[in-house]
Amino acid sequence: MITPIELFAQQAVNGLSLGAMYALLALGFTLVYGILELINFAHFNVFMIGSFVGLIVLQALGIAGQSVVLHGAPLIFALLLALIVTMLVCGILGVLIERFTLRPMRGVRGPMAMITTIGVSYILYNVVLLATNAQALNFPDPLATQDFDIHHVVIRAKQILIWIISLILMVGLDQFVRRSRLGKAMRATAQDAEAARMMGVDVDRVVSTAFFAGSALAGAAGLIFGLYYNFTQYSIGYSAGLRAFTAAVLGGIGNVPGAMLGGILIGLIETMSSQYIATKWADVIIFSILILVLVFKPAGLLGALAPNRS
């Protein structure tokens, strides 16, 4: 019989995995928001498309259902290929969305750009809904089931994999924004696009890059989602996306470490409320905590309020 402490530890493991998924998704939100102050709702469904791209790549490699399990080099090759193709396709999709629906609206005040992203989001959602006839699909599972049992706390190899991939992508993004030339240009654009332009920053290129990077991360998250849960469906962007958005706001939107922290906190709150209260109350608890945090710290846990740009 599992002891209360072991049970708590097991739920923490569950929460961390869920949180890593939210954090990956939250990064893309935060990246675009940080530069454009735009909440990009299309992000939810770029993530969903990512899972389908991953599914198609893996199936094209002959990996379908639960029957094909790979090891060693073929596994790494298959996963890397799926990851690269998914990130590229989603990144390009993100750039196209920005170029054709958002750039014409740059400089327009008010919520128009945000509403446009909701529209794009619904288009992607409905296209996949119609293309798949809304069926949930079985996602290939080439990873061997490997469990580590430490004092009744089971950690699955897949969970470790998602922690590692999430951590690499998050640290990579953080370093990119902090240290690279383009990252500097991004931060400059975020602070004051007009001034950055006067200093010779190619703002269009910066925005495109942000959309590419954010959408590629969403694609990676989609692939990881599929590998982890072994299913995908047109609707997966909806609830995961909403939680990820909440995570970004909780951590401080526009702040990369904040998105990571927010994601992991939301994941932990969700599993702990399922364990100690009831699953049906999880949403109420998550959003109550969000409201409380925003009342006392409006910029989120790690965020700083954006400078006044009037």
Partner 1 sequence: MSISRRSASKFLAGFAAISLTPIRSAFAAGETYSIGITLPLTGADAEAARLILNGATLAISEANDSGELKGITLKPMILNNASATAGQYDPAQAATNARKLVADGKVLANVGPEMSGSGKAMAPILSMGNLATITPSSTAPVITDPSAAGEFDPGGKPIYFRTVTTDAYQGPNMANFYAETLKVPSVYLLDDSGAYGVGLADAFGKQAAIKGIKVIGRDRLDPKAADYSATLTKIASTGAASLYYGGTMQAGVKLVKQAYQIIPKLIKGGGDGILSPEMVTAAGFPAAEGWYCTNASPHVIDDPKLAEWVALYTKTYGVQPDDYAVTAYDAALVAIAGIKAVQKTGKKLTAANVRDAIQTVKIIGLQGPISFDSHGDLSSRIVSVFQFHEDKSAPTDFLKQYRYIGVAPQT
Which residues are near partner 1 by CB under 8 A? 1-2, 7, 10-11, 14-15, 17-18, 21, 65-66, 125-126, 129-130, 133-138, 145, 156, 225, 229-231, 233-236, 238-240, 270-272, 274-275, 278-280, 282-283
Name the minimum Å distance from CB 275 to partner 1: 5
Cβ(57)–Cβ(81) under 8 Å? yes
Q: For 298, list phi and psi in degrees, rounded to 5.
A: -55, -25
Name the minimum Å distance from CB 50 to partner 1: 14
Shorter beta-carbon distance to partner 1: residue 2 or 164 = 2
Cβ(21)–Cβ(162) under 8 Å? yes
Name the minimum Å distance from CB 242 to partner 1: 9
Instruction: Give the span between the Cα atoms of 61 and 104, in whole angstroms.
Output: 39
Shorter beta-carbon distance to partner 1: residue 98 or 270 = 270
For the chain, where are the alpha helices, taking DSSP H only?
Answer: 4-36, 42-60, 72-97, 112-132, 157-179, 181-191, 193-198, 203-229, 236-251, 256-276, 282-296
209: Cβ contacts below 8 Å, ≥ 6 apart: 182, 186
Name the minimum Å distance from CB 106 to partner 1: 30
Shorter beta-carbon distance to partner 1: residue 181 or 280 = 280
Shorter beta-carbon distance to partner 1: residue 147 or 194 = 147
Name the minimum Å distance from CB 120 to partner 1: 15
Shorter beta-carbon distance to partner 1: residue 11 or 255 = 11
Q: What own/partner pairs with CB < 8 Å and gap ≥ 24 does 99-103 have?
A: 99/208, 102/36, 102/38, 103/204, 103/207
Shorter beta-carbon distance to partner 1: residue 136 or 304 = 136
Q: What own/partner pairs with CB < 8 Å and gap ≥ 24 does 76-80 have?
A: 78/142, 79/142, 79/227
Name the minimum Å distance from CB 293 to partner 1: 21
Shorter beta-carbon distance to partner 1: residue 9 or 182 = 9
308: Cβ contacts below 8 Å, ≥ 6 apart: none
229: Cβ contacts below 8 Å, ≥ 6 apart: 139
User: What token pair was written down for 146?
Assistant: 């490997």
Name the minimum Å distance from CB 5 to partner 1: 12
